[in-house]
Amino acid sequence: MLNADAELCDHAVDLCQRLLRIDTTNPPGNEREAAALLAAELAAAGLEPVVLESAPCRANVVARHRGTGAKPPILLTAHLDVVEADPSAWRYPPFSGVVAEGCLWGRGAIDMKNHAAMSVALLTRLAREGVRLDRDIIFAGVADEEAGCEFGSGWLCDHHPELVRAEYAIGEGGGFNLELGGKRFFTVQVAEKGFCWVRARVRGEPGHGSMPRTDSAVYKLASGVARLAKGLPPHRTRVVTDFLSGIASAQPAALQPLLRALTSPGLLPRLLKALPDPSVGRALGAMLANTASPTVVRAGQKTNVIPGVAEVEIDGRTLPGQTDDDFLRELGAVLGPEFELEVLRSAPPVETEPVRSPLYDRILEVLAEREPDAIPVPYMIPGFTDAKSFTRLGARWYGFAPVKLPPGMRFADMFHGHDERIPIDGLRWGTEVLTDVVTRFAAR
């Protein structure tokens, strides 16, 4: 066992700050400097990290703290790339790693250089103290998650599976707290939606722009896209039902039937519209149905020519239990038979089945000790993570990058938003929790 003392937490905060000062905006990524920083930390502790480039400057770092081998490994993983940030919209520069207002500021503070820092701080301490656990603990800092994982976890699993194969994996997607109805909950991500990116094309009669045509491809496309705004039909899933039931159980008796009714397909549209916070309605709506967001629209090349073809790219997300064919059938029913649908790229949903496991039990155990008044709930994210890759090798995935946020600070506002930041106390708390969870689990 290992205690997360002040020195270990200080190391995690320092590492996170240094990572935030490295611009790994994807595209282009350029994760090499961040991977080299972590590799140097790991090597200084006596570990043998390897830095693997899937393409120039697209670097991944992998290290292993060896245990007795009595049980299979556990993988701690974090992506090193980040989404873009507009400095003019930030209170502090997004790649400065400024400490202000009790927080560490920077793009990646929550998503997810914090988890990379906590994981590496943990591995280096284990190595320096010569702690021998029953499981190897692997760390993988990967490239390219924000653009689809092709140069990161996907490449590692395809080309170096022996380095990252594990029985369990802990990554992003959960571990944060949220406040609802005066009650505090901590999420543990056990599922994520799949994606099915589609190009929808429709044809019409071309002509001269001076003589409008009601049967033009552009009008057909516009009508189809407008119909998508009504959404796709809802579906009940075990994870979301358990999530809502967990939240409902802690609410006043009068609210419990309303929350549980969110899983009822017939009532869902009216209930979501009745919610006072539209962002909550959007988040819940994304958890209760396949979704289709039109993102890129193309038609024509000259102002005075009515084009004969118009197309839209659609970001489709699929629930656990739903396939690409299911999604295409629902999408086609909304757009209409005139639309041609072409799948550009897809990946299936991920669901940890069954949810309960020795690792999940250790997470609940540690949270109960440290936050006895909070309620852990299983969670599904509407986006995707590196779970898409590592579960292909057989890992059971839990999204648990622990962080404790103060009242009024919402995780959703930090994630890809302006002024991304992490409370320093919350980062230290997360380091303690992750250390407890991993060492207890790997020692049993």
Specify if 1 maps to a domain.
no
Last residue of a domain, one of 313, 347, 381: 347
> Does 366 share its domain with 309?
no
Q: Which domain holds residue 354?
A: 6-181+350-442
Say what the pLDDT of residue 347 is: 95
Last residue of a domain, one of 287, 319, 347: 347
Say what the pLDDT of residue 444 is: 72
Q: Span 320-337, mean pLDDT?
A: 98
Specify if 188 maps to a domain.
no
> Does 216 share its domain with 159?
no
> Does 19 share its domain with 149?
yes
Say what the pLDDT of residue 1 is: 64
Say what the pLDDT of residue 86 is: 97
Q: pLDDT tens digits for 271-323?
A: 666 555 666 677 888 999 999 999 999 999 999 999 999 999 999 999 999 99
- Over pLDDT 90: what percentage of the chain? 85
Say what the pLDDT of residue 385 is: 97
Residue 206 sits in a domain whose CATH number is 3.30.70.360
- Report the candidate in 164, 125, 158 with the shortest Cα–Cα distance to residue 41: 125
Give the pLDDT band (50/70/90) at residue 249.
confident
Token pair recorded at residue 191: 């599922």
On whether the CB atoms of residues 79 and 386 are closer than 8 A, the answer is: yes
H or E element, residue 20: helix 6-20
Across the chain, mean pLDDT equals 94
Q: How far apart are CA 191 and CA 161, in angstroms?
A: 22
Domains in the chain, number:
2
Say what the pLDDT of residue 244 is: 85
Token pair recorded at residue 361: 């039990």
Specify if 91 maps to a domain.
yes
Q: Span 147-157, mean pLDDT?
A: 97
Say what the pLDDT of residue 295 is: 97
Last residue of a domain, one of 347, 366, 394: 347
Q: Is the pLDDT of residue 254 over 80?
A: no
Residue that the structure tokens 């609210």 belong to: 255
Q: pLDDT tens digits for 40-73?
A: 999 999 999 999 999 999 999 999 999 999 999 9
> Does 290 share its domain with 400?
no
Q: Which residues contact 37 (CB under 8 A, 6 or more apart)?
A: 15, 18, 19, 22
> Does 33 share its domain with 160?
yes
Q: Span 338-350, mean pLDDT?
A: 97
DSSP 28: T
